[in-house]
């Protein structure tokens, strides 16, 4: 799944269970990069360690795309941060001690050296530090690179939200193609809910999860009454009050119409 910073799911691809988790990445990522760049947008990509592939780096660099991608640790990387691994002398702090280091690294399968940022965390009560590595072409300071990459975790929350609210992972059809269609419909439902949250809801409830919106605003009892000249939609008032419903309708009416 490919998300933007506004929580929208830009693309999704269902893969067989017996292939690598980044299989077919170019079919999902490259069309969206081209579309965003045609709109004059700067594209920055962050991903987990499944995308630690030299062909990914080379493709992004050829398209002038900035990236921050998690790297699995290895002996060579561990040696580069050896001086940060010992715990500092003195009374241990109650708060984690975090250190950063940036350096150039070239794996055997890479054609050129690339910048790697390491984060070393010493936590109270833990014997060994937690060490993580990120390969990047960003020119930010090391701490800012890690902070930017850590925001990738919000995408995990959006995926979890999709699983709970629109059942994205309920793919129980016998045919692979049917499950692809089902995933596509779930993504459309998720995006409609997210657009509703971003552009229609008042600010005081604009941060509600899709599950909360579904249970409090969508699942509302109602009755449609037909008269000679009009239809009346009668809704039970709970979280969905008359004032809130009217405000949402007015915001929908104010949305610009798409060109063409």
- What are 148-180's pLDDT values in tens digits? 999 888 888 888 888 888 888 888 889 999 999
Average pLDDT over residues 196-204: 87
Residue 107: pLDDT over 90: yes
What are 243's two structure tokens? Answer: 């004032």
The residue count for the chain: 260
Q: Which of 54-58, 213-217, 236-240 has the highest average model confidence (pLDDT)?
A: 54-58
DSSP 31-85: HHHHHHHHTTPPPEEEE-GGG--HHHHHHHHHTT-EEEEEE---HHHHHHTGGGS
What average pLDDT does this structure show over 129-153? 93
pTM for the model: 0.81
Range 64-100 burial, b when 16+ CB lie within 10 A, else e: ebbbbbbbeeeeebeeebeebeeeeeeeeeeeeeebb
Strands (E), 123-230: 130-136, 222-226
Q: What's the average model confidence in pLDDT over 203-211?
A: 85
pLDDT value of position 95: 86
Give residue-wise pLDDT tens across range 47-97. Answer: 999 999 999 999 999 999 999 999 999 999 999 999 998 877 777 778 888
> Where does residue 152 rank: exposed (0-12), middle (13-18), buried (19+ CB within 10 A)?
middle
- CB contact at 8 A, 46 and 149: yes
Residue 218 or residue 146, greater confidence: 146
Mean pLDDT of 210-224: 84
Q: What is the three-class DSSP state of 98?
A: strand
232 vs 240, residue with greater confidence: 232
Residue 260 above 70 pLDDT?
no
The SS3 call for residue 125 is coil
- pLDDT at res. 32: 94
What is the domain partition of the chain in residue ranges? 2-165
């Amino acid at each position: 799944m490919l998300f933007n910073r506004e929580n929208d799911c830009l693309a999704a691809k269902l893969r067989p269970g017996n292939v690598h988790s980044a299989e077919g990445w170019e079919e999902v990522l490259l069309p969206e990069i081209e579309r965003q760049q045609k709109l004059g947008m700067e594209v920055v990509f962050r991903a987990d360690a499944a995308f630690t592939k030299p062909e990914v780096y080379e493709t992004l660099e050829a398209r002038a795309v900035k990236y921050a991608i998690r790297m699995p640790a290895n002996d060579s990387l561990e040696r580069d941060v050896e001086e940060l691994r010992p715990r500092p002398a003195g009374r241990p702090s109650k708060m984690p001690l975090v250190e950063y280091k940036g350096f150039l690294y070239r794996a055997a399968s890479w054609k050129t050296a690339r910048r790697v940022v390491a984060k070393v965390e010493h936590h109270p009560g833990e014997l060994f530090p937690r060490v993580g590595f990120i390969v990047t072409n960003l020119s930010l300071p090391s701490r800012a690179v890690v902070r930017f990459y850590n925001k990738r975790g919000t995408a995990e929350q959006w995926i979890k939200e999709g699983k709970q609210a629109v059942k994205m992972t309920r793919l129980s059809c016998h045919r692979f193609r049917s499950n692809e269609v089902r995933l596509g419909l779930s993504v459309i439902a998720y995006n409609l809910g997210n657009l509703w949250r971003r552009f229609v809801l008042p600010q005081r409830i604009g941060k509600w999860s899709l599950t909360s919106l579904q249970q409090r605003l969508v699942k509302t009892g109602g009755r449609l009454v037909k008269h000679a000249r009009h239809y009346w939609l009668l809704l039970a008032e709970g979280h969905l009050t008359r004032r809130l419903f009217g405000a949402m309708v007015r915001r929908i009416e104010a949305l610009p119409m798409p060109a063409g």
